[in-house]
Structure 1
């Protein structure tokens, strides 16, 4: 059966779950370099990219997002592989389309902050547009159902991305996400909620926030976006324990070293599954229609989000059931020898070597 599109799903009141976080996950697996964060894994280990797409869908993602994030001309130039730009993008899109077709999910093309944009430099604005144009046209030509434009710190670059999707995307819907810095304004001085409303008014199908902030520090902002915007909104934080004092992952300080945790020591700040579940519940209560997680995401987190949003993905077959545990379980067929005596001994503070 044909897959319903993004706009159709949202207009019918369905939530849409999106798994992001490919950069950090492949870095964790030793297949991508932190620092440059270029998705060379698409070229070097394409089968691993396909596997992670399938893993995220298995966990509940409704969208297969082509791994073209930071796969743009400037990043490829940085590592001396600009000549492989088109191949990387086309291969990533074909892998994503293959998984989406096989699983009945949506496939999204992806563009992001270019790292060259400067609003007062016309030459760089034109360079930015050219970078957006080629990635959008490759995505449209290779079967993308919509385009995700994301991690914009400047409202002006986000607006330009939206304009380019409308201009070069042949009618594809645009989901445009800003990345909130430590301050609650874009780099070019617009309040985050106001900037989202402006993007909505300019024709984005969905607007919202992704990356940098963890669940606890993104929720207050997404509430403001919900109050400001009338249409569908998106929220995809990083799964790290940010705080009001350290509101974004780039400000987290490792207490053991007193050094910046980003990016190598961020796992020390990883959220629990319970915190991700609570985040998803809050998003549902707020009225967030498009929900997911960004850098640091993993499939067990996605399952939590999916289940809160009323889904039962294949991964739910393996959701935790501690009643089946030999020591902590409560089934009648477990021996009390394990469930009572052994448990009491196991968790006691008895000194090593002391008789039990």
Structure 2
């Protein structure tokens, strides 16, 4: 479905969820996904704002809705309710032309050789959440903000076996030598090489950097990867002032950056932390005119 659409045109993804919920009053240390139950209207309003801004695809508020993360908040018994409610909320926010994608983050603990979790344990955790979302009609899954290709591959293989489409997106940070790597030291070149042989719909990068640095990452990705690519930058590198976290890149910055990403043949563009519907509207105005 997604790959077929991207063969015809570039698409716009949505923007931030966590930082938007924080601005709406989500307390520090509270799992954003729980608000699918306790504050569904606020989750709906955020997703609907992205639909109105021009997103072709929006995501469920399920980034941390797997069993391991939910257990850390004492919510593992609500895994079905949180995931199913997330789909219900998002579906109500859609219009007839908007696709719905399931957001899946890392499972919450490190996989071997970096930690104690085995590949089988990761796949069991992913399978449990994906099967719930599949039963609610979700077909596209965005594995976002991953820092390890080992964990992403485990999740990717699970989703593909269950019949879903995969976006595999990683977080890169700048290093002193000018390169960008994940927390595990993997470069965009390495990630591109690894996933060239996997039948994923889209390879991507999100979070970690603002638009200016994301353009550099995109250039490296495109030099080594021939398939469809996603970029979902933050609204700049966050700065702390007092008790506030500020993101300084504007919608105008995103409009300019989107043009550069399109010149690099980036196919799916959205926003991560700090972005709002205004950033997404700026992206959409450029993408939909291209």
TM-score by length of 2: 0.91
Distance of 2:279 and 2:272 partners within structure 1 = 11
* Count of aligned residue pairs for this structure pair: 285
The answer to whether the 8 A contact 2:57-2:101 is kept is: yes
Distance of 1:103 and 1:189 partners within structure 2 = 41
More moved, 126-135 vs 17-26: 126-135
Q: Report whether the alignment pairs 1:49 with 2:43.
A: yes
The answer to whether the 8 A contact 1:60-1:311 is kept is: no
Indicate the residue corresponding to 1:180 in structure 2.
172
Distance of 1:11 and 1:225 partners within structure 2 = 18
Indicate the residue corresponding to 1:270 in structure 2.
248
The answer to whether the 8 A contact 2:110-2:116 is kept is: no
Indicate the residue corresponding to 1:209 in structure 2.
205
* 3-state SS of paired residue (2:122): helix
Runs of 5+ in structure 1 lacking a partner? 243-248, 258-263, 313-356
Distance of 1:34 and 1:125 partners within structure 2 = 31
Distance of 2:189 and 2:128 partners within structure 1 = 29
Q: Report whether the alignment pairs 1:116 with 2:109.
A: yes
* Aligned-pair CA distance for 1:60: 0.7
TM-score by length of 1: 0.75
Distance of 1:128 and 1:218 partners within structure 2 = 29
* Aligned-pair CA distance for 1:304: 0.4
The answer to whether the 8 A contact 1:222-1:235 is kept is: yes
1 or 2 for the larger relative contact order (CA 8 Å, sep ≥6)? 2
Runs of 5+ in structure 2 lacking a partner? none
| Residue among 11, 17, 38 paired with 2:12 | 17
| Residue among 255, 259, 279 paired with 1:301 | 279
* 3-state SS of paired residue (1:266): strand
The answer to whether the 8 A contact 2:172-2:183 is kept is: no
Deviations 1:74-93 (A, max 9, x none): 22111112111110001101
Deviations 1:111-153 (A, max 9, x none): 1112212222564433322221111111211111311111111
Indicate the residue corresponding to 2:24 in structure 1.
29
| Residue among 213, 217, 220 paired with 1:221 | 217
Q: Report whether the alignment pairs 1:195 with 2:191.
A: yes
TM alignment of 1:55-74, pairs within 5 A: 55-74=49-68
* Aligned-pair CA distance for 1:179: 0.6
Distance of 1:160 and 1:196 partners within structure 2 = 16
TM alignment of 1:278-289, pairs within 5 A: 278-289=256-267
The answer to whether the 8 A contact 2:20-2:46 is kept is: no
Report runs of 4+ in structure 1 exceeding 6 Å deviation: none
Q: Which has the larger radius of gyration?
A: 1
Distance of 2:75 and 2:148 partners within structure 1 = 27
Q: Report whether the alignment pairs 1:90 with 2:92.
A: no
